[in-house]
């Protein structure tokens, strides 16, 4: 499904797909790839076909050809602008891939107008063996339903580190594991998408 190119806030670029009868979805990308990565486009197309209005957009740093900020702090206002851009369609569902998942979780913590969150490969730790541990205690304070989709060989989200975090969550949540790495390669991208779309479709 072809979407409509949009520009909002102070020059953020995005693509809107679907009609919105089922509500709004906002999709955020990983650190290295933008809104046109295959998993995000496929997810948007499937949700648009189901009647959701879907916005996927690029964080501002991509168009400046610079690096993302530490911890995604400078990208949080970009996501807030996207939420405000879509506010005519009700509380949005946020989908984040890796870095985008991190941004979504931090923004949702401070807002009262989110419906749910789905995370493709939450980056619990950095890729470098010397990366400092990340604090994920704030996830326990999120009050919205959450879905975690993780590759069983994801080096940024080791299952043995995800499980203790899931036990601290107070909101409804679901965790799905598929064969593959941080991007569900080599063969599980479509399975991950199907899990995400099915979960969203079943939300009350």
Confidence of residue 132 (pLDDT cuts 50, 70, 90): confident
> What mean pLDDT value characterizes the chain?
96
**Tokens describing residue 45:** 């197309």
Distance between CA atoms of residues 136 and 66, nearest Å: 26
Rounded to whole angstroms, the Cα distance separating 107 from 105 reads 6
Report all structural domains of the chain as residue ranges with CATH numbers, in order of start.
Answer: 4-126+135-201 (3.40.50.1820)
pLDDT classification of 195: cutoffs 50, 70, 90: very high
pTM for the model = 0.97
CA torsion 203-150-157-126 (nearest 10°) is -90
Show the CA angle centred on residue 90, arms to residues 28 and 74, nearest 5°: 35
pLDDT at 182: 97
Q: How much is the average pLDDT of 142-156?
A: 97
pLDDT beyond 70 at 185:
yes
Closest CA to 40 of 11, 14, 64: 14
The whole-angstrom separation of Cα 140 and Cα 167 is 9
> Using one digit for the tens of pLDDT, what is the confidence trace for 55-112?
999 999 999 999 999 999 999 999 999 999 999 999 999 999 999 999 999 999 999 9
Band (pLDDT 50/70/90 cuts) for residue 1 is low
CB–CB of 16/3 below 8 Å? yes
> Per residue in 117-126, pLDDT tens?
999 999 999 9
């Amino acid at each position: 499904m072809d979407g409509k190119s949009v520009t909002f806030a102070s020059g953020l670029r995005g693509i809107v797909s679907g009609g919105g009868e089922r509500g709004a979805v906002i999709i955020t990308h990983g650190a290295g790839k933008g809104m046109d990565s295959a998993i995000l486009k496929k997810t948007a197309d499937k949700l648009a076909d189901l009647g959701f209005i879907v916005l996927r957009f690029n964080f501002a740093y991509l168009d400046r050809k610079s690096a993302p900020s530490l911890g995604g702090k400078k990208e949080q206002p970009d996501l807030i602008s996207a939420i405000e851009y879509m506010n005519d369609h009700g509380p949005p569902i946020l989908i984040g891939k890796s870095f985008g998942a991190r941004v979504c979780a931090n923004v949702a913590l401070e807002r009262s107008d989110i419906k749910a969150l789905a995370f493709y490969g939450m980056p619990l730790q950095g890729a470098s063996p010397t990366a400092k541990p990340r604090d994920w205690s704030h996830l326990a304070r999120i009050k919205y339903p959450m879905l975690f989709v993780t590759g069983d060989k994801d080096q940024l989200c080791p299952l043995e580190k995800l499980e203790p975090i899931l036990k601290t969550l107070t909101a409804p949540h679901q965790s799905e594991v598929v064969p593959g790495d941080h991007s569900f390669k080599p063969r599980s991208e479509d399975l991950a998408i199907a899990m995400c779309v099915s979960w969203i479709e079943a939300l009350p």
